């Protein structure tokens, strides 16, 4: 069973993954991975060491033990979390070449009994909500920390840091509607230049105090934690800033494939990050432990202004990657029926993954700018950072354990051993960050909590509405039998009735019979189903089940990474014997008017939230890409 799954995954790998195995495109994919995958973690050196040293000392003066202890924590956090957990293990848990929290959730749910599958669904929703909490904070702290480099150039820039940050963020969100294709072409080279610059800068300053390299010894962690127990917990929370962005390795797996992501990390990103952190540590030691702003201050002279400019570009790239990731995650959540339909605009004719969601973009922009204005500086925002990311990493570890046991068929001992090791690190960082709730951590919890409530309400409300509707509807097979025995007046053409319930007669069909007293010569009950795979091959797209001469059931399956296109999928039906003329085909949709009910099974506030979400859902005609001139909408009123 496990071998069959592995073979099936290999056969259906994304093109990017297959191309990465050939030498001609490998360099291009590695360069692209630098820009998209590592933008977030690559900008952490701007503020991570500084914040960790401030946390360990409570001031602006650090002793040798603090510097070496913090550096050792950063080195081993990058090694265990990124190199071992994500590079070695998590990247192998691909769902037909795709990665990310929801892909891992879909993979883990395969073959599980209903109760266990529902539990995994809730875990996956928590991970998705936490990711969106991170997506709000990352652009704010990244761009703000880079612009703060202007204060190092001259203190006269201090009053203008926040306004400049807001202008850059406003421009970033404004250009999203044009797509990221043209911008992405410069992401890779710019990020590569960024990593080489921070690596070279760090290497030059290691000579200030070469003994800083001793921090590679993990004994310095034990010494630091035992001699500074009062500040160790807070310091660990700040150290985690160095590994934020690690989830992007897995989330962007489908875009580049495992090999380019691994090579980019081992050959360029990891070495340059280590050099930057060691260089900053040596710079601080050489100044007698004065912390200041080591990343920018060690680039004195003519290199300072170019480094500030490069840091700004790198943080914009990091923000862009998170924004694009948020679009992709929301689309997956919509396809998996965790959120109502959102308007999705495709910004590229060549790549289906390049999308723009206007409503999501507006909500992100407003949230990010409010954070910048509210917190005012990256040090304050650092307290809000980390909780959502560490929570998402805990979710990944839980789902990875299920995949190891159910999909990879590992025995209990190795699966449990790895889970305990990763879980101990993840939970340790989570607990160290959760203490920062009152200092700003409430922001990420609030954002993730709101998203989770929305998801839970949509999933629960949709299920309750489905169950209520089924009780009052007529079974389709019974209706088809009655119509065949005593058919009403038949009119030429084909009627396609969209419904999510393949058992009951669609409300649009019943209302059509009630009001028009006619039936089309050919009636198709069409259901669109989202598979637990990112894509569905054309050979598995359509399932046609004849009922009688008047009725047939058609089920269309789309992957959660695909945009449903009913007319295009209908073309496949011709090969399976369904002959139709699109110009004589009418699509009947039921437009529901939902009313709250005291006996709905949900609190009244949740009823109203569900009704509000349903009212803002994107039009089904547009979402399923049905020709508007062929659509008939029938209004119905239901209670939830």
What pLDDT score does 427 carry?
Answer: 93
Supply 609's token pair. Answer: 């939230």
pLDDT digits (tens, 9 = 90+) for 581-628: 777 889 998 877 777 777 777 888 888 899 899 888 888 888 888 888
pLDDT > 50? residue 279:
yes
Question: What's the confidence (pLDDT) of residue 584?
Answer: 81
Edge to edge, the sheet with strand 585-595 lists 542-546, 551-558, 518-530, 489-498, 585-595, 631-639
162: which 2 tokens?
Answer: 């926040």
pLDDT bin (cut points 50, 70, 90) of residue 19 is very low
- pLDDT at res. 184: 56
In angstroms, the Cα distances linking 134 to 27, 247, 323 are 30, 11, 10
Burial letters 121-158, b for 16+ CB under 10 A, else e: bebbbbbbbbbbbbbbbbbbbbbbbbbbbbbbeeeebe
Q: Which residues contact 114 (CB under 8 A, 6 or more apart)?
A: none
434-456: pLDDT as tens digits: 888 888 888 888 999 999 999 99
Whether the pLDDT of residue 18 is over 50: the answer is no
Residue 151 pLDDT greater than 70, yes or no: yes
- Per-residue pLDDT band for 229 (boundaries 50, 70, 90) equals confident
- Band the pLDDT of 350: cuts 50, 70, 90: low
Residue 6 clears pLDDT 50, i.e. is over it: no
The model's pLDDT over 362-373, given as tens digits with 9 standing for 90+, comes to: 999 999 999 999
Give the end-to-end CA distance of the chain in Å, rounded to a whole number.
42
Nearest-angstrom CA–CA distance, 230 and 431:
15
Read off the pLDDT band of 341 (50, 70, 90): confident
In the predicted structure, residue 521 carries a pLDDT above the cut 80: yes
pLDDT the model gives residue 351: 56
Identify which has the larger pLDDT, 172 or 277: 277
For 26-460, CATH gives 1.20.1740.10
Q: How distant, in Å, are the alpha carbons of 198, 270, 513, 516, 558 from that of 525?
A: 60, 54, 15, 18, 17
Confidence of residue 49 (pLDDT cuts 50, 70, 90): very high
- Pairing verdict, β 518-530 and 542-546: unpaired
Rounded distance between C-alpha atoms, residue 131 and residue 448, angstroms: 8
Residue-level pLDDT at 3: 39
Residue 2 has pLDDT above 70, yes or no: no
Q: Give, as one character, the DSSP assignment of residue 534.
A: S
pLDDT band at 471 (very low <50, low <70, confident <90, very high): confident
pLDDT-derived band at 551, boundaries 50, 70, 90 = very high
d(CA 585, CA 491): 12
pLDDT in tens, 211-226: 999 999 999 999 988 8
**Extents of the domains making up the chain:** 26-460, 474-639
Average of per-residue pLDDT across 486-491: 88
Question: Looking at residues 272-281, what average pLDDT do you find?
Answer: 96
What pLDDT is recorded for position 353?
60
pLDDT at 253: 82
Report the mean per-residue pLDDT for the chain: 85
* Residue range 342-359: mean pLDDT, rounded: 73
Per-residue CA distances from 23 to 5, 16, 260, 381 (Å)? 27, 13, 11, 42
Lowest mean pLDDT among 69-73, 121-125, 169-173, 322-326: 322-326
For residue 198 the two structure tokens come to 């921070």
Structure confidence at residue 16 (pLDDT): 40
Which residues are within 8 A (CB) of 236 and not within 5 positions of it... i.e. 6 or more apart?
73, 428, 429, 432
Q: What is the pLDDT of residue 185?
A: 62
Torsion from C-alpha of 587, 593, 596, 597, nearest 10 degrees: -70
Q: Please state, in angstroms and rounded to a whole number, the distance separating the CA atoms of residues 202 and 307.
A: 13
167: confidence class by pLDDT, cuts 50, 70, 90: very high
Token pair of 161 as six digits: 């840091």
Q: Are 30 and 264 in contact (CB under 8 A)?
A: yes
With cut-offs at 50, 70 and 90, classify the pLDDT of residue 323: confident
Q: What's residue 215's pLDDT?
A: 94
Determine the number of helices (DSSP H) and then strands (DSSP E) in the chain. Answer: 29, 8
Is the distance from CB of 354 to CB of 320 less than 8 angstroms?
no
């Amino acid at each position: 069973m496990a071998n069959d799954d592995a073979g099936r995954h290999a056969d259906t790998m994304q093109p990017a993954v297959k191309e990465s195995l050939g030498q001609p495109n490998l360099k291009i994919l590695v360069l692209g991975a630098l820009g998209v995958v590592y933008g977030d973690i690559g900008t952490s050196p701007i503020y991570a060491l500084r914040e960790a040293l401030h946390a360990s000392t409570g001031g602006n003066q650090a002793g040798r033990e603090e510097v070496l202890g913090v550096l050792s924590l950063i080195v081993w956090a990058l090694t265990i979390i990124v190199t071992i957990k994500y590079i070695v293990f998590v990247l192998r848990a691909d769902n037909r070449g795709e990665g990310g929290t929801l892909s891992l959730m879909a993979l883990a749910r395969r073959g599980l009994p209903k109760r266990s599958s529902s539990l995994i669904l809730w875990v996956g929703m928590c991970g998705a909500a936490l990711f969106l909490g991170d997506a709000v904070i990352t652009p704010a702290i990244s761009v703000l920390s880079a612009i703060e480099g202007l204060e190092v150039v001259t203190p006269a820039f201090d009053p203008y840091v926040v306004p400049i940050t807001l202008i850059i963020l406003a421009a970033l969100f404004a250009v999203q509607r044009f797509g990221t294709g043209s911008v992405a072409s410069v992401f890779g080279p710019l990020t590569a230049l960024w990593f080489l610059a921070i690596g070279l800068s760090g290497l030059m300053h290691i000579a200030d105090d070469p003994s800083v390299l001793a921090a590679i010894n993990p004994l310095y962690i034990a010494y630091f934690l035992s001699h500074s127990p009062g500040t160790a917990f807070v310091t660990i929370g700040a150290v985690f800033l160095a590994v934020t962005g690690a989830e992007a390795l897995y989330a962007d797996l489908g875009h580049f494939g495992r090999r380019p992501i691994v090579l980019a990390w081992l050959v360029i990103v990891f070495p340059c990050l280590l050099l930057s952190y060691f260089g900053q540590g040596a710079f601080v030691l050489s100044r007698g432990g004065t912390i200041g702003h080591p990343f920018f201050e060690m680039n004195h002279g003519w290199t300072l202004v170019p480094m500030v400019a490069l840091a700004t570009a790198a943080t914009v790239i990091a923000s862009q990657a998170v924004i694009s990731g948020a679009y992709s995650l929301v689309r997956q959540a919509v396809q998996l029926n965790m959120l109502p339909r959102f308007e999705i605009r495709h910004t590229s004719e060549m790549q289906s993954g390049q999308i723009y969601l206007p409503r999501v973009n507006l909500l992100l922009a407003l949230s990010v700018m409010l954070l910048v204005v509210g917190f005012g500086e990256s040090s304050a925002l650092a307290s809000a950072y980390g909780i959502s990311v560490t929570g998402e990493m805990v979710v990944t570890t839980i789902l990875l354990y299920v995949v190891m046991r159910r999909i990879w068929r590992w025995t209990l001992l190795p699966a449990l051993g790895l889970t305990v090791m990763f879980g101990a690190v993840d939970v340790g960082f989570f607990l160290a960050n959760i203490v920062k709730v009152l200092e700003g951590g409430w922001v990420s919890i609030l954002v993730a909590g709101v998203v989770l409530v929305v998801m839970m309400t949509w999933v629960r409300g949709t299920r309750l509405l489905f169950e209520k509707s089924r009780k009052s509807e007529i079974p389709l097979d019974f209706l088809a039998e009655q119509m065949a025995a005593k058919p009403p007046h038949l009119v030429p053409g084909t009627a396609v009735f969209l419904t999510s319930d393949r058992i009951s007669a669609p409300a649009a069909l019943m209302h059509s019979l009630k009001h028009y007293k006619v039936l089309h010569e050919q009636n198709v009950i069409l259901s669109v189903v989202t598979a637990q795979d990112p894509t569905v091959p054309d050979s598995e797209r359509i399932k046609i089940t004849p009922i009688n001469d008047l009725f047939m059931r058609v089920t269309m399956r789309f992957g959660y990474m695909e945009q449903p296109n009913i007319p295009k999928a209908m073309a496949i039906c011709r090969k399976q014997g369904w002959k139709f003329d699109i110009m004589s085909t009418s699509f009947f949709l039921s437009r529901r008017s939902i009313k709250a009910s005291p006996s709905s099974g949900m609190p009244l506030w949740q009823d109203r939230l569900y009704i509000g979400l349903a009212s803002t859902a994107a039009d089904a005609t547009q979402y399923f890409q049905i020709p508007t001139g062929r659509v008939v909408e029938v209004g119905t009123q239901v209670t939830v």
